[in-house]
């Protein structure tokens, strides 16, 4: 665990010292602040719309931070050749994968905490945030979903040579899952033959990231999610993240590293 | 007594660049032993297989055949690297960290924490004369300073075996002298040093034994003084003769 924390610390330190991260962070925090604070219109629909926009912004920003950061971790280690002194220590490739995952996931969690913090505090101030408990649940579920996304991006970084290619593929896959995965069974039922079977296969194999999205509940001020589904969703994310990390480790351990 | 470093018929093949071509053999059945307290020079021209061999020893590459052991532990096991220090040829460190942070990071990877880690960091920064720049990010360091950080990180776990890949490459004469002094000092402390270098004068000065590899094959291994005496020439001339440049030797 000490090794994993040390590796994660380097990831967070790098983000902390990178100016591009600050730009995204400050910009999104500012927009969140502005959008989250407006209940100027005195119109319920408008307030809901602004909440929706703000939450969408939080989702997009968190996704960008998580994917871009995760996608460059191992390629950057290889490109700058810092991987060599690292692996010359008693560190396994599995620990490198897990340490990188932990660092990016914690960093994404910090960013999310800030975004949701802004949303909830400013919303409470302007009486537009809805339930605090649901807000905290939304943060938790979002963070769990990011665990799957970060693991996916780390696996992608070992399969695709360029981080930009990997990031693009990750964005397309995650957006596709968020928009379509929940409807694949309906589509499969409507399509007979191998196409339908393939869609059923995808429906059961893909991680249903849309289940972690409780934005609609927040926008329409629903009560908090019961504890049971919350725990199941957490375990569901943990299983998918673990599977993806095992796959990443398997790919990485077979990769020769030439000095 | 178990050798500190041992390779047993080590073979490394790289896949061919074109389908149908034979694989490129980088290391051919290399069997080598380095004993405790030795300063061992691993010599060869560019492309001889030195770096590939080091890559296997450090776990970067899996051998095609044969095995390699550090302290009797197969190099496939990361525990084999618990008691080694490695200095790569070029400085490959996190440029956004300070010297102190990078040493603390590597100390943690060896399970060192707290007072012991801080004590070693202070001692090593003093040894490599970087105390004044300990809180400066590495991106602001000169090449020589970065190489000294490299040396410090290689010593953070007080290793029993140091693997140095061309440690003086690109250093000015003062930097080279400093590295030589540190190697001599480690030898006096009973440490084992395994290093590759093209600076044969330097190798002759500091090494007890050398191995010369050429085109992946071990050509000769022996004590420096014996090689020099047997061939009636200095190490550079011996090296050139062994790798097949008799005209240079004659000159």
Instruction: Write out the two tokens for B178.
Output: 């400093």
Q: What is the mean pLDDT of residues A236-253?
A: 94
Which two three-digit tokens encode residue B101?
A: 């942070």
Top pLDDT among B240 and A23 is at B240
**Distance (Å) from the C-alpha of residue B112 to the closest C-alpha of chain A?**
10
Average pLDDT over residues B30-37: 90
In this complex, the residue of B61, B93, B106 whose CB is nearest that of residue A256 is B61
pLDDT above 70: percentage of residues in chain B: 97
CA-based end-to-end distance of chain B:
43
- Is the confidence metric ipTM above 0.95 for this complex? no
CB count within 10 Å of CB B47 equals 12
Among A5, A13, A85, the residue with its CB nearest the CB of B92 is: A85
Q: Is B94 on the interface with A (CB under 8 A)?
A: yes
Q: Which of B55, B84, B163 sits opposite A258 (nearest CB)?
A: B55
- What integer is the mean pLDDT of A211-220? 83
User: Mutating which of A86, A90, A252, A254 best tests the B interface, going by the most B Cβ atoms within 10 A?
Assistant: A90
> How many CB pairs below 8 A link A and B?
83
Say whether residue B69 is in contact with chain A using an 8 A CB cutoff.
Answer: no
- Calculate mean pLDDT across residues A158-187: 86
- Residues with Cβ within 8 Å of B160's Cβ and at least 6 positions away in sequence, in order, are B4, B36, B71, B83, B84, B191, B192
Q: Does B81 touch chain A (CB under 8 A)?
A: yes
Phi-psi region of A161 (alpha: psi -120 to 50; beta: other; left: phi over 0): alpha
pLDDT band at A37 (very low <50, low <70, confident <90, very high): low
Tell whether B110 lies on the interface with A, counting CB pairs under 8 A: yes
Cα–Cα distance for residue pair B11/B28, rounded to 1 Å: 5
Tell me: the pLDDT tens digits for A85-102?
888 888 899 999 999 999
Compute the distance between CA of residue A168 and CA of residue A64 in angstroms, rounded to an integer: 10
The per-residue b/e assignment along A229-250, b for 16 or more CB within 10 angstroms, e otherwise, is: ebeebbebbeebbeebbebbbe
Q: Could you tell me how many residues make up chain B?
A: 251
Q: Would you call B125 helix, strand, or coil by DSSP? A: helix
Residue of chain A minimizing CA distance to B64: A256
Alpha carbons A108 and A208: distance in angstroms, whole number: 20
As a whole number of angstroms, the distance between CA B201 and CA B206 comes to: 9
The residue among A57, A154, A159 whose CA lies nearest residue A105 is A154
Q: With CA atoms as reference, report the closest residue to A68 among A162, A3, A159.
A: A162
Residue B250: predicted pLDDT: 45
Closest-CA distance, A70 to chain B, in angstroms, reads: 17
How confident is the model at residue A128, as a pLDDT? Answer: 56
Short-list A68, A142, A133, CA closest to A112: A142
B149 has pLDDT over 80: yes
Point out the residue among B51, B86, B95 whose CB comes nearest to the CB of A85: B86
In this complex, the residue of B61, B93, B113 whose CB is nearest that of residue A85 is B93
Per the CB < 8 A criterion, the answer to whether A202 and A184 are in contact is yes
Q: Does B83 touch chain A (CB under 8 A)?
A: no
Considering only the beta carbons, identify the residue of B61, B81, B92 that sits closest to A80: B92
Distance, in angstroms, between A248 CA and closest chain B CA? 17
Candidates A6, A85, A91, A102: best to mutate against B (most CBs of B within 10 A) is: A85
d(CA A11, CA A66): 12
Tell which wins on pLDDT, B160 or A221: B160
Nearest by CB: A6 against B84, B95, B109: B109
Among candidates B242, B203, B236, B216, which has minimal Cα distance to B46?
Answer: B216
Q: Does the beta-carbon distance from B51 to A91 stay under 8 Å? A: no
B78 min Cα distance to partner chain A (Å): 5
Split at pLDDT 50, 70, 90, the class of A154 is very high
Q: How many CB atoms lie within 10 A of CB B82?
A: 17
Nearest residue to A78 via CA among A237, A219, A256, A212: A256
Residue to mutate among B26, B51, B102, B109, with most A CBs inside 10 A, is B109
| pLDDT tens digits for range B98-148 | 999 999 999 999 888 888 889 999 999 998 888 888 889 888 888 788 888
Distance between B55 CA and the closest CA of chain A, angstroms:
7
Distance CA A87, CA B52 (A): 15
Tell me which of B60, B61, B89, B99 to substitute to probe the interface with A (most A C-beta atoms closer than 10 Å): B60
CB of A202 closer than 8 Å to CB of A194: no
Q: How many whole angstroms separate alpha carbon B198 and alpha carbon B230?
A: 21
DSSP 8-class letter at B80: G
State whether residue B86 sits within 8 Å of chain A by CB: yes
- Nearest-by-Cβ selection for A84 from B62, B92, B97: B92
Question: What is the residue-averaged pLDDT of chain B?
Answer: 85
Dihedral, A13, A9, B105, A82 alpha carbons, nearest 10: -70
| Average pLDDT of chain A to the nearest whole number | 84
Closest Cα in chain B to A19: B96
Strand-by-strand arrangement of the B24-34 sheet: B24-34, B5-14, B65-70, B73-74
What is the DSSP code string of chain A? -HHHHHHHHHHHHHHHH-HHHHHHHHHHHHHHHHHHH--TT--HHHHHHHHHHHHHHHHHHHHHHHHHHHHHHHHHHHHTTTHHHHHTSS--HHHHHHHHHHHHHHHHHHHHHHHHHHHHHHHHHTT-S--HHHHHHHHHHHHHHHHHHHHHHHHHHHHSS-HHHHHHHHHHHHHHHHHHGGGHHHHHHHS-SHHHHHHHHHHHHS--GGGG--HHHHHTTPPPPPHHHHHHHHHHHHHHHHHHHHHHHHHHHT-----
Which string of b and e fits A114-140 if b means at least 16 CB within 10 Å?
ebbebbbbbbeeeebbbbeebbebbbb
Query: Is any Cβ of chain A less than 8 angstroms from the Cβ of B165?
Result: yes
The three-class DSSP label of residue B141 is coil
Q: How wide is the angle at C-alpha B44 spanned by C-alphas B40 and B49, nearest 5°? A: 95
List CB contacts of B89: < 8 A, sequence separation 6 or more: A259, B51, B165, B166, B169
- What is the average pLDDT across A9-37? 73
How close A102 gets to chain B, by Cα (Å)? 16
């Amino acid at each position: 665990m000490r090794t994993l924390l040390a590796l994660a610390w380097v990831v967070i330190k790098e983000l902390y010292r990178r100016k591009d991260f600050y730009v995204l962070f400050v910009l999104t925090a500012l927009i969140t602040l502005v959008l989250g604070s407006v209940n100027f219109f005195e119109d319920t629909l408008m307030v809901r719309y602004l909440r929706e926009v703000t939450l969408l912004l939080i989702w997009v920003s968190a996704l960008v931070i998580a994917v871009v950061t995760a996608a460059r971790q191992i390629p950057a280690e290889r490109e700058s050749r810092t991987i060599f002194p690292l692996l010359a220590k008693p560190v396994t490739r599995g620990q490198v994968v897990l340490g990188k995952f932990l660092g990016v996931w914690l960093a994404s969690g910090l960013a999310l905490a800030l975004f949701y913090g802004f949303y909830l505090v400013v919303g409470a101030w302007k009486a537009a945030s809805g339930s605090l408990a649901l807000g905290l649940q939304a943060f938790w579920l979002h963070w769990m979903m990011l665990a799957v996304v970060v693991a996916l991006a780390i696996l992608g970084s070992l399969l695709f040579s360029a981080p930009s290619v990997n990031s693009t593929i990750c964005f397309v896959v995650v957006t596709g899952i968020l928009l379509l995965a929940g409807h694949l069974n309906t589509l499969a039922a409507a399509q007979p033959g191998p196409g339908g079977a393939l869609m059923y296969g995808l429906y059961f194999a893909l991680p249903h990231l849309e289940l972690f999205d409780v934005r609609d509940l927040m926008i329409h001020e629903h009560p908090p999610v019961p504890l049971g589904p919350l725990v199941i969703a957490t375990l569901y994310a943990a299983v998918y993240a673990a599977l993806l990390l095992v796959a990443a480790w398997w790919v990485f351990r077979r990769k020769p590293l030439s000095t | 007594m178990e050798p500190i470093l041992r390779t047993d018929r080590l073979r490394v093949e790289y896949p061919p660049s074109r389908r149908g071509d034979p694989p490129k053999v980088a290391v051919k059945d290399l069997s080598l032993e380095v004993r405790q307290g030795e300063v061992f020079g691993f010599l060869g021209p560019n492309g001889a297989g030195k770096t590939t061999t080091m890559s296997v020893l450090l776990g970067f590459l899996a051998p095609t055949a044969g095995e390699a052991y550090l302290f009797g532990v197969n190099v496939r096991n990361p525990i084999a690297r618990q008691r080694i220090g490695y200095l790569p040829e070029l400085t490959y460190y996190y440029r956004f960290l300070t010297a102190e942070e990078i040493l603390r990071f590597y100390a943690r990877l060896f399970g060192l924490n707290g007072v012991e880690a801080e004590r070693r960091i202070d001692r090593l920064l003093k040894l490599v004369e970087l105390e004044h720049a300990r809180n400066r990010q590495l991106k602001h360091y000169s090449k020589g300073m970065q190489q000294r950080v490299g040396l410090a990180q290689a010593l953070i776990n007080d290793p029993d075996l140091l693997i140095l890949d061309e440690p003086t490459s690109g250093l000015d004469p003062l930097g080279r002298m400093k590295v030589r002094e540190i190697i001599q000092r480690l030898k006096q402390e009973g440490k084992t040093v395994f290093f590759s270098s093209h600076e044969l004068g330097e190798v002759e000065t500091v090494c007890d034994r050398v191995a010369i590899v050429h085109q992946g094959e071990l050509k000769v291994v022996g004590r420096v003084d014996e090689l020099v005496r047997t061939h009636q020439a200095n190490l550079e001339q011996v090296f050139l003769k062994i790798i097949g440049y008799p005209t240079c030797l004659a000159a």
